[in-house]
Copies of this chain bind each other. A is one copy, B any other.
């Protein structure tokens, strides 16, 4: 028996998927009882959408971008076809509309390839969800930025040089904005948070900071403290609601994400019942994405539908608690540290460690601060920035602590 697959898009991923499906079809038939076959392909120059839908049981959307992908996905669903997509843009911006349509039409919608490269984040969150209450997901979900930060750490290269190297190796695009700004990671975290918490979170709800302004100096100082720098996406339940955000952060060495280097992706899922699970693997390339898409196709061949439940509105948190690394350049004279400490203390920011280094008439203070409401920390930094002995703008990076100590 044939399971008919309509394929929208035939670029790098589409072609790799088509080839992989043909290669694995006999093994899949042996395992599942149906033989998947691509019965139609739509590209800019060939194929007719309605005709492809009519001759398929499932539609794979690999066009990318919002339109016409959104329109095609909705029309395929309304025609009663299962849909597999790798499209993070459309899901992070029009997810509710698409999930609702799939739920009404009782078709399957699967999107493992939209998030996390090879790492089966969506499956594991979906399956973990029913048995355990997910409290937090931390993710390195953009391979380009992780490669750049790894190179800056490893070689001491500047951001610009590491970016140029990533571009030369094909890890970064000619216009790297989507990746280095944190926007790509924000879209992925919106999809993850929607699934983990059931709240209708979209890309617009996710504040993001990128890696463009990080310097190799910051990395070098932090390395001495045993910290490593990553672009982290966080989705967590807080007392005040749900928070989803993307930001550069220093991780302590024992954090499971600290050792994830190069263009790898990784996600840590935390829950009281399971404590934590970490998943890691190479970020998306053509063959890896194709493999994730095929995995979704095979799952869709086996009923029943697994869909996100209808969304429940939950408030978004307006303030979150973070630990910080704070770097200040100040005139080297008595009383400076005392004034800074007083301002921090008034805002209830408590100091975990401080290193002072002389630089001629000036001095550099490198502080690690205990977790505090970000609004309070930023109020303190604003006050510190106005002190007359400051020699440059304060610089800060969030710090993520170990989930568990290495030993009890």
Instruction: Please list the residues of chain A having a beta carbon within 8 angstroms of any beta carbon in chain B.
Output: 20, 24, 27-28, 30-32, 118-120, 123-124, 127-133, 147, 150-151, 154, 169, 254, 256, 258-259, 261-262, 273-282, 287-288, 290-292, 294-295, 298-299, 302-304, 309, 404, 406-408
Contacts and interface: CB of A to CB of B under 8 A. Distances in A.
Contact of A150 (B24, B129, B278, B406): B406
Given A31-B129, A275-B282, 10 more contacts: A123-B123, A127-B299, A131-B291, A150-B407, A154-B407, A259-B259, A275-B288, A276-B282, A278-B279, A280-B280
Contacts of A169: 408
5 contacts: A20-B273, A31-B130, A130-B298, A277-B279, A303-B304
B282 A404 contact: yes
B119 A295 contact: no
Given A118-B277, A275-B281, A131 B302 contact: no
A302 B118 CA distance: 26
Contacts of A280: 256, 277-278, 280
A318 to B, nearest CB: 27
A130 B406 contact: no
Contact of A277 (B30, B120, B407): B120
A147 B120 CA distance: 27
A401 to B, nearest CB: 16
Given A261-B406, A282-B404, A303-B304, A130 B277 contact: no
Q: How many copies does the complex hold?
A: 2
Nearest to A155: B407
Contacts of A123: 123-124, 127
B119 A277 contact: yes
Contacts of A404: 262, 282
Given A128-B295, A256-B280, A295-B131, A262 B118 contact: no
Contacts of A288: 273-275
A1 to B, nearest CB: 16
Contact of A120 (B118, B127, B273, B406): B127
* In the complex, the 7 A-B pairs of residues with the closest C-beta atoms, listed nearest first: A259-B259, A131-B295, A273-B291, A277-B281, A131-B294, A130-B298, A278-B280
Contact of A28 (B128, B130, B276, B279): B130
B407 A151 contact: yes
A239 to B, nearest CB: 20
Nearest to A254: B261
Given A259-B259, A303-B304, A406-B261, A118 B276 contact: yes
Contacts of A133: 27
A281 B268 CA distance: 9
A277 B127 CA distance: 17
Nearest to A269: B281
Given A304-B302, A407-B262, A278 B277 contact: no
Contacts of A273: 20, 287-288, 290-291
A274 B278 contact: no
Nearest to A287: B273
Given A259-B259, A309-B31, A406-B261, A291 B274 contact: yes
A275 B264 CA distance: 11
Given A262-B406, A304-B303, A118 B275 contact: yes
A219 to B, nearest CB: 15
Nearest to A128: B295
